[in-house]
């Protein structure tokens, strides 16, 4: 294959951009395994930083996983039924609801967090528990669950399926359990991957909602970057990558719930986290 | 189609009698948990935040202080300028590399696409570490500049560092949208333009760019709004009060200046919301779920 100069210029540029994105990732992984980063890898490779991170910040990791799992359960419980209603009744009000629940993603997380702290900050037991963080995460991830389920439900002929079932005598709940939920499966899977990934990485909203005893991974990372040595912060980042990258890969594989609604699925993919 | 209002009106009449009315009651039941959670934990708190913004000594004028107070105004301007510059830079990068990755087929293409979109879900704090790795005191750029010029370049802790970090987290999102739009461009239009004597730059300016325009507007708006509200990166790089989210955080936690923090967040929220709404009215529905 022959290529013009334009091809090579664009290839060079794209490789530069890729290097810009990848080199710091590689460096932080290296730093996480280096005895003394200032002296470089020649000072020896070690796993002691990883071990130290586990001892110091292990609690954060379990808390984050717990919050992500709870967030997933809540968004499925309240988001999937909501998406079904939105798919069945397309009125001005239901569109308004669809637009409203996106607002916690559209406006900066700091504003939502501040609003929550101002209103519920005085409820001591609630404020200091991990459920306060969970509330923020549910607000932030709910639209992603609703949208990916709604995308799948809008791409199939739900009305015909339900009418067929109803004519055979299936009641509302039978149809919901045996027709709606199985058909929404791929959307629930895509939404779940999204919700979990976003919850584990959320920082903007989370920082103000946490207490020193309810620190999640990203908050712990921020603390480690500012207070601990670079090697330790990097090792913590390596652990974080080990958790988040498999989720990102899974999202690329199963994150496109339906072929027919390319637009919605792209939308879902584009809108990840506000860093 | 029945609206929810109609559902509410009809519900008490005789549930069970009319199957459609019964179904409406059940549907209302299904969406109620989502409505309750959203109202209790978002609508109510935000309404309170808006009221709090006007509750300080200055009353409603606290909102104006965003423009009249020098420190707040300069932070707002810096954030706007930074976000604008980040958006333009990212769009340029995404158009060059996105078109290339869509148009050319070569060995390693899909690997490059994967690399470009990998940092999609990295939180801002981690992007902060990436900037430190590049331009911090032990960063690679500093090492290279020492080797070449004998001077250590450290840029991680000023506006340049924020700029680099924001471009870093914007590239994956914007490039996905641009690539999706580039795939749908009609190649025949470009061939027609060329056969009529258009040079490659003319084809680019008059055919390709207009075709990409909706995608550029929508992804640009999302990029801008995200940069305006970005907090994690600035927090990690300890960017002081240089950008609005950091200023809000400082006013709230260090100065306990609650009215100002509330007013500034409301203004920041309004700006990002307005940018996204504007872009949507220009570019169609693709911008609705902005992040």
Measure CA of the first residue to CA of the last residue in chain A; give whole Å.
41
Sorted by sequence, the CB contacts under 8 Å of residue A21 that are 6+ apart come out as B115, B116, B118, B119, B168, B171, B172
Query: Quick one: pLDDT at residue B114?
Result: 87
The helix (H) or strand (E) run that includes residue A261 is none
Q: What are A135's two structure tokens?
A: 């509330």
Whether residue B231 and residue A203 make contact (CB cut-off 8 A), yes or no, is: yes
Indicate the DSSP class of residue A177: I
Helix pair angle (B19-38, A92-100), 10° resolution: 20
Q: Which of B117, B33, B42 is nearest to A75 (CA)?
A: B33
d(CA A181, CA B73): 51
Distances (CA, A) of B238 to A223, B135, B189, B278: 11, 14, 49, 32
Nearest Cα of chain B lies from the Cα of A194 at a distance, in angstroms, of 9
Q: How deeply is B72 buried, as exposed, middle or buried, from its count of CB atoms within 10 A (0-12, 13-18, 19+)?
A: buried
Nearest Cα of chain A lies from the Cα of B130 at a distance, in angstroms, of 5
pLDDT in tens, chain A (275 residues): 567 888 899 999 999 999 999 999 999 999 999 888 878 778 888 888 999 999 888 888 999 999 999 999 999 999 999 999 999 988 888 889 998 999 999 899 999 999 999 999 888 788 889 999 999 999 999 999 999 999 999 888 888 888 888 889 888 898 999 889 999 999 999 999 999 999 999 999 999 999 888 899 999 999 999 888 888 999 999 999 999 888 888 887 877 664 444 444 444 444 443 44
Q: Among A27, A116, A275, whose Cβ lies nearest the Cβ of B233?
A: A275
d(CA B170, CA B117): 10
Cβ neighbours of B144 (radius 10 Å):
12
d(CA A17, CA A104): 31
Whether residue A226 and residue B171 make contact (CB cut-off 8 A), yes or no, is: no
Q: How deeply is A176 buried, as exposed, middle or buried, from its count of CB atoms within 10 A (0-12, 13-18, 19+)?
A: middle
Q: What are A225's two structure tokens?
A: 């970057």
Contact call for residues A80 and A145 (beta carbons, < 8 A): yes
Whether residue A84 and residue B48 make contact (CB cut-off 8 A), yes or no, is: no
Residue of chain A with shortest Cα separation from B261 = A114
CB pairs under 8 A between A and B: 305
Contact call for residues B118 and A248 (beta carbons, < 8 A): yes
Model pLDDT for residues B75-107, shown as the tens digit of each residue: 999 999 999 999 999 999 999 999 999 988 888
Sorted by sequence, the CB contacts under 8 Å of residue B10 that are 6+ apart come out as B2, B21, B24
Compute the CA torsion angle B160, B162, B168, B173 (nearest 10 deg): -130
B contact residues 217-236, partner A, Cβ 8 Å cutoff? 219, 222, 225-226, 228-233, 235-236
- Of the CA atoms within 13 Å of residue A42, those in its CB half-sphere come to 2
3-class DSSP state of A248 = helix
Q: What are B190's two structure tokens?
A: 């470009």
Q: Among B3, B229, B236, whose Cβ lies nearest the Cβ of A108?
A: B229
- Which fold does the domain B64-287 belong to in CATH? MetI-like fold (1.10.3720)
d(CA A32, CA A245): 17
Which string of DSSP letters, residue by residue, matches A17-35? HHHHHHHHHHHHHHHHTBS
Its pTM stands at 0.86
- Greatest Cα pair distance, chain B, in angstroms, is 86
d(CA B108, CA B89): 25
The number of helices, as runs of H, and strands, as runs of E, in chain A is 14, 0
Is the backbone of residue A210 left (phi > 0), alpha (psi -120 to 50) or beta?
beta
Query: Quick one: pLDDT at residue B231?
Result: 92
Cβ neighbours of A117 (radius 10 Å):
20
Test mutation, B75, B231, B255, chain A, max A CBs within 10 A: B231
Q: Among A25, A38, A252, whose Cβ lies nearest the Cβ of B138?
A: A38
Whether residue B125 and residue A139 make contact (CB cut-off 8 A), yes or no, is: no
Query: Quick one: pLDDT at residue B284?
Result: 63
Contact call for residues A215 and A228 (beta carbons, < 8 A): no
Is the backbone of residue A157 left (phi > 0), alpha (psi -120 to 50) or beta?
beta
Query: Quick one: pLDDT at residue B17?
Result: 60
Contact call for residues A107 and B269 (beta carbons, < 8 A): yes
d(CA B259, CA A263): 41
pLDDT at B7 over 60: no
Residue ranges, CATH 1.10.3720.10, chain B: 64-287
Indicate the DSSP class of residue A38: T
Query: Quick one: pLDDT at residue A89?
Result: 87
Sorted by sequence, the CB contacts under 8 Å of residue B278 that are 6+ apart come out as B221
Question: Please, which pLDDT band fits residue B108 given cuts at 50, 70 and 90?
Answer: confident
Q: What are B19's two structure tokens?
A: 């199957």
d(CA B143, CA A190): 43
Model pLDDT for residues B190-226, shown as the tens digit of each residue: 999 999 998 888 999 999 999 999 999 999 999 999 9
Cβ neighbours of B54 (radius 10 Å):
16
Q: What mean pLDDT comes out for the span B267-281?
A: 91
Whether residue A14 and residue B100 make contact (CB cut-off 8 A), yes or no, is: yes
- Of the CA atoms within 13 Å of residue B258, those in its CB half-sphere come to 13
Q: Domain A56-270 in CATH: superfamily?
A: MetI-like (1.10.3720.10)
Q: What mean pLDDT comes out for the span B276-287?
A: 74
Model pLDDT for residues B147-170, shown as the tens digit of each residue: 888 888 888 888 999 999 999 999
Query: Quick one: pLDDT at residue B288?
Result: 40
Q: Which of A266, A208, A221, A105 is nearest to B229 (CA)?
A: A105
Contact call for residues A235 and A53 (beta carbons, < 8 A): yes
What is the residue extent of each domain of chain A? 56-270
Test mutation, A110, A139, A215, A220, chain B, max B CBs within 10 A: A110
Query: Quick one: pLDDT at residue B48?
Result: 92
Whether residue A114 and residue B262 make contact (CB cut-off 8 A), yes or no, is: yes
The helix (H) or strand (E) run that includes residue B266 is helix B258-283
Distances (CA, A) of A104 to A63, A113, A171, B46, B132: 23, 10, 36, 10, 29
């Amino acid at each position: 294959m022959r290529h013009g100069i334009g091809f090579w210029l664009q290839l060079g540029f794209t490789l530069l951009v890729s290097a810009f994105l990848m080199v710091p990732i590689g460096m932080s992984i290296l730093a996480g395994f280096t005895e003394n980063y200032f002296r470089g890898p020649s000072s020896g490779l070690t796993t002691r930083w990883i071990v130290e991170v586990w001892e110091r910040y292990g609690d954060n990791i379990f808390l984050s996983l717990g919050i992500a799992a709870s967030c997933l359960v809540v968004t499925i419980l309240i988001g999937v039924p909501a998406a079904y209603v939105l798919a069945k009744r397309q009125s001005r009000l239901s569109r308004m609801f669809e637009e409203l629940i996106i607002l916690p993603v559209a406006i900066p997380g700091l504003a939502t967090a501040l609003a929550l702290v101002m209103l519920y900050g005085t409820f001591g037991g609630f404020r200091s528990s991990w459920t306060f963080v969970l509330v923020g995460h549910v607000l932030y991830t709910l639209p992603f669950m609703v949208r990916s389920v709604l995308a799948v439900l809008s791409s199939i002929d739900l009305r015909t399926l339900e009418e067929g079932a109803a004519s055979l005598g299936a009641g509302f709940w039978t149809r919901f359990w045996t027709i709606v939920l199985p058909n929404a499966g791929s959307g629930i899977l895509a939404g779940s991957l999204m919700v979990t990934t976003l919850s584990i990485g959320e920082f903007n909203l989370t920082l103000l909602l946490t207490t020193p005893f309810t620190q999640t991974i990203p908050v712990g990372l921020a603390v480690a970057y500012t207070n601990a040595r670079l090697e330790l912060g990097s090792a913590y980042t390596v652990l974080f990558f080990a958790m988040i990258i498999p989720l990102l890969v899974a999202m690329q594989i199963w994150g496109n719930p339906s072929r027919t609604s390319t637009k919605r699925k792209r939308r879902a993919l584009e809108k990840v986290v506000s860093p | 189609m029945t609206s929810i209002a109609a559902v509410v009106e009809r519900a008490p009449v005789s549930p069970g009698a009319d199957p459609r009315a019964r179904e409406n009651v059940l549907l209302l039941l299904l969406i109620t948990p989502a409505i309750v959670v959203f109202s209790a934990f978002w609508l109510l708190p935000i309404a309170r935040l808006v009221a709090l913004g006007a509750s300080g000594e200055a009353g409603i004028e606290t909102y104006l202080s965003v423009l009249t107070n020098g420190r707040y105004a300069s932070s707002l301007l810096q954030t706007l300028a930074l976000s604008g510059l980040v958006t333009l830079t990212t769009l340029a990068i995404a158009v060059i590399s996105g078109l290339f990755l869509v148009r050319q087929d070569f060995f390693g293409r899909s690997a490059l696409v994967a690399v470009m979109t990998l940092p999609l879900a990295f939180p801002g704090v981690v992007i902060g570490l990436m900037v430190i790795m590049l331009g911090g005191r032990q960063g690679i750029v500093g090492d290279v500049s020492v080797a070449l010029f004998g001077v250590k370049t450290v840029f991680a802790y000023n506006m340049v560092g924020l700029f680099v970090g924001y471009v870093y987290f914007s590239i994956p999102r914007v490039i996905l949208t641009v690539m999706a739009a580039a795939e749908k461009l009609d190649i025949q239009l470009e061939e027609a333009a060329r056969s009529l004597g258009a040079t490659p730059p003319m084809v680019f300016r008059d055919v390709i760019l207009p075709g990409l325009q909706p995608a550029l507007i929508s992804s640009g708006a999302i990029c801008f709004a995200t940069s305006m509200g970005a907090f994690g990166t600035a927090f990690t790089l300890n960017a002081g009060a240089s950008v609005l989210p950091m200023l809000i955080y400082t006013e709230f936690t260090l100065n306990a200046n609650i009215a100002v923090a509330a007013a500034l967040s409301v203004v920041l929220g309004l700006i990002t919301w307005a940018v996204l709404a504007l872009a949507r009215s220009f570019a169609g529905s693709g911008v609705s779920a902005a992040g």
